[in-house]
Amino acid sequence: MRAIAGTHTVLLAMDLHDPTGCLGFAIKRTEILPQGQGESVWLKGMKTFGSVESTPPPGSQWPTNAHPIQGFQWGDYGAVPGRTYVYAVSPVTGTPAVPTLAGTVEVKVTTEVEDDGVHGVWFNRGVAGSQAFARRFAGWVPTKVPDEDHPAMRWLSRGLREAFEAFCAQATGPEWGLLGAFYEFTWSTGLLALKAAADRGADVRLVIHGRDSDAAGKDEDTTAASARAQVSALGLDPLVTWRVAPNKGALQHNKFLVLTKKGRPVAVWTGSTNLTLGAVYGHSNVAHVVRDRAAAVAFTAYWERLASPATTAALRVSDESANPVSTTVPPGAGISVITSPRASRAVLDWYADVFDSGVSSTHITGAFGLNTVFRDRLAVNRAPVTRTVLLDKTPARAQDRIPLADSHVRLSTGAHLREGALSQWAAERLTGFNGHVRYVHTKIILVDPLGDDPVVVTGSANYSDASTTSNEESTLVIRRGTTRATSRRAVERVADIYLTEYHRIFMHFPFRAWAQSREVNTGAPQPVSHLEETDHWSQRYFVPGSWRESQRRLFAGT
């Protein structure tokens, strides 16, 4: 067994030399406190043995020592950052009526803190439509202007709100500064945190998307108008430079904030999180703080280009000259900051090459589908390399869908249920904060995250033509190097956090479909299955060359 610890999530991976007689796995978690052993609990699942519990109530949970896990990976989503746990995993034998623990393997693990002083990483919950949400906050529905201190809102934020407020709070006086660039900019709590820093005397300057990208006379793009109204209502006008220079259709799509001290850049907040209610409390997002001077300097130089009246055409030239990108594969050592717009698609092709370079596994998210450069690479059989794709929704056009001829390419989508299916399950009430992108908004590429040399790619860019050659975007590429922020420990820590959160969201959607008696990706009705009552369930994980065999061995490290 192997335990991969993130912050709020621990991914458990098991393997067996011989699965004969195994009905599944029982998993017990014990918290280790400074004064000794703490609470021990059996982790729970939702599937049951039909001969023992034929009609479990919707949303009910069952201890795994009675109704075991029939799979070789399992996520514990109830962990707390910076805590130490012992996970005890036992193969279950016997019969469904009289299960027996056949032996136990224990692993002791300490979860990562969200911010270790070098990298801070926060993923919001991103799963408002979940059984966990329904159990905790049954009947709760947010108002249009919700109470952000309500326990439900704090549960959804999962520390993301508090992290942004804390980052802004570091600017305590005149020697400090905050230089920001944001696309959607309406979250009053975040905007007031920036204003409070300015009120303390800090140098706060913000570049905000100000273009209306619609054709003349349409005015359907309300992003800039909404931001202008909120900035005016909260009195932030003196802090804001509106990014209005042509090209009209280009988005100032960044989501970053540089912290400076005595004029020197010291840290940067970046990731996929817009400053909106939906970004913090709704669809899945990540915020990443890096305390690395070179990265902060690169973001500051980019901010200065954005704050100028340079057109899109001029920015293409300046980004190419001021921010050259080596397109070697794998990426160069250390942290790279990549900005756009650029003069060509070369960087987009390079992202796809990096994604395709994994020797054990690669993983990618797509809020708006995947560009053809990625689909072309996924169409090539690379078995036994595990390649997973997490999308916000199934692309409407058949030609845009993910090639799945290679069975080792696995897909999970957020909006995978037919219209009306959500209403059939009370737990599927969403926040209503998000319209266009309801589920997955992260922009992540992970290459060999379980290997010796992982690569993490994260930021605001959607890995598309527009995000490369038209929009103003920023991306972090992190690989082991020689600085404190790129030490082996630092990069493996970041990779573990990203992988465990990616896996949490990836598994949430197909499991949610199962709980609704639906088939993942199509939404077609299917009966809810029970646990298999013999060891037959395990046979498909031991088929030589199959994707299940590859994943079993990959995650368990065997």
For residue 198, how many other CB atoms are within 10 A of its CB? 20
Closest CA to 413 of 284, 223, 499: 284
CB-count burial class (<10 Å; 0-12, 13-18, 19+) for 38: middle
pLDDT at 509: 75
pLDDT at 133: 75
Closest CA to 390 of 368, 358, 420: 368
Q: Please, are residues 203 and 260 in contact by the beta-carbon 8 Å criterion? A: yes
CATH code, domain carrying 297: 3.30.870.10
pTM, 2 dp: 0.94
pLDDT at 445: 98
| Residues 148, 200 share a domain | yes
| Residues 400, 497 share a domain | yes
Place of tokens 């069952």: 62
Q: Which residues contact 226 (CB under 8 A, 6 or more apart)?
A: 184, 186
Give all strands of the β-sheet with 473-479 in edge-to-edge order: 334-340, 473-479, 455-459, 444-447, 361-366, 386-393, 409-415
Place of tokens 């299960």: 99
Alpha helices in 310-423 (DSSP H): 312-322, 346-355, 372-378
Asked, for residue 210, whether it belongs to a domain, the answer is yes
pLDDT at 439: 81
For residue 500, how many other CB atoms are within 10 A of its CB? 25
How many angstroms separate the CA atoms of 149 and 167, rounded?
Answer: 19
| Residues 83, 130 share a domain | no
Structure tokens given for 511: 């499991």
Instruction: Return the amino acid letter for 90.
Output: S
| Residues 57, 28 share a domain | yes
Asked, for residue 354, whether it belongs to a domain, the answer is yes
Instruction: Return the amino acid letter for 409.
Output: V
Alpha helices in 387-461 (DSSP H): none
What's the total number of domains in the chain?
2
Cα 74–78–84 angle (5° rounding)? Answer: 95
Asked, for residue 446, whether it belongs to a domain, the answer is yes
| Residues 199, 65 share a domain | no
Give the bridge partners for 158, in sequence order.
none
pLDDT at 75: 95
Which domain range does residue 7 map to?
2-113+542-556
How many angstroms separate the CA atoms of 551 and 11, rounded?
Answer: 13
| Residues 237, 101 share a domain | no
**CA-atom Rg of the chain in angstroms:** 24
| Residues 403, 299 share a domain | yes
| Residues 345, 446 share a domain | yes
pLDDT at 508: 81
State yes or no: cis peptide before 330, omega within 30 of 0: yes
pLDDT at 419: 38
| Residues 358, 228 share a domain | yes
Asked, for residue 526, whether it belongs to a domain, the answer is no
Cα 48–52–54 angle (5° rounding)? Answer: 65
Asked, for residue 506, whether it belongs to a domain, the answer is yes
DSSP SS3 for 267: strand
Three-state helix/strand/coil letters over 169-220: HCCCCCCEEEEEEECCECCHHHHHHHHHHHHCCCEEEEEEECCCCCCCCCCC
pLDDT at 58: 73
State yes or no: cis peptide before 341, omega within 30 of 0: yes
pLDDT at 423: 29
Asked, for residue 530, whether it belongs to a domain, the answer is no
How many angstroms separate the CA atoms of 226 and 229, rounded?
Answer: 5
Q: Please, are residues 103 and 90 in contact by the beta-carbon 8 Å criterion? A: yes
Per-residue pLDDT of the chain (558 residues; tens, 9 = 90+): 999 999 999 999 999 999 999 999 999 999 999 888 889 999 999 899 999 999 988 778 999 999 999 999 999 999 999 999 999 999 999 999 999 999 999 999 999 999 999 999 999 998 755 667 777 887 777 777 889 999 989 999 999 999 999 999 999 999 999 999 999 999 999 999 999 999 999 999 999 999 976 666 565 668 999 999 999 999 999 999 999 999 988 999 999 999 999 999 999 999 999 999 989 998 899 999 999 999 999 999 999 999 999 999 999 999 999 999 999 999 999 999 999 999 999 999 999 999 999 999 999 999 889 999 999 999 999 999 999 999 988 888 999 999 999 999 999 987 543 333 322 222 333 444 555 567 889 999 999 999 999 999 999 999 999 999 999 999 999 999 999 999 999 999 999 999 999 999 998 877 666 666 666 656 677 666 899 999 999 999 999 999 999 999 999 999
Phi, psi of 481 (to 5 degrees): -145, -145
Closest CA to 121 of 490, 394, 515, 548: 490
CB-count burial class (<10 Å; 0-12, 13-18, 19+) for 98: exposed
Asked, for residue 534, whether it belongs to a domain, the answer is no
Q: Please, are residues 191 and 239 in contact by the beta-carbon 8 Å criterion? A: no
| Residues 302, 417 share a domain | yes
How many angstroms separate the CA atoms of 2 and 72, rounded?
Answer: 11
Structure tokens given for 159: 């520390």
| Residues 218, 69 share a domain | no
Residue 248 per-residue DSSP state: T
Structure tokens given for 436: 């266009």
| Residues 134, 95 share a domain | no
Asked, for residue 332, whether it belongs to a domain, the answer is yes
CATH code, domain carrying 71: 2.60.40.10
How many angstroms separate the CA atoms of 115 and 129, rounded?
Answer: 28
pLDDT at 516: 61
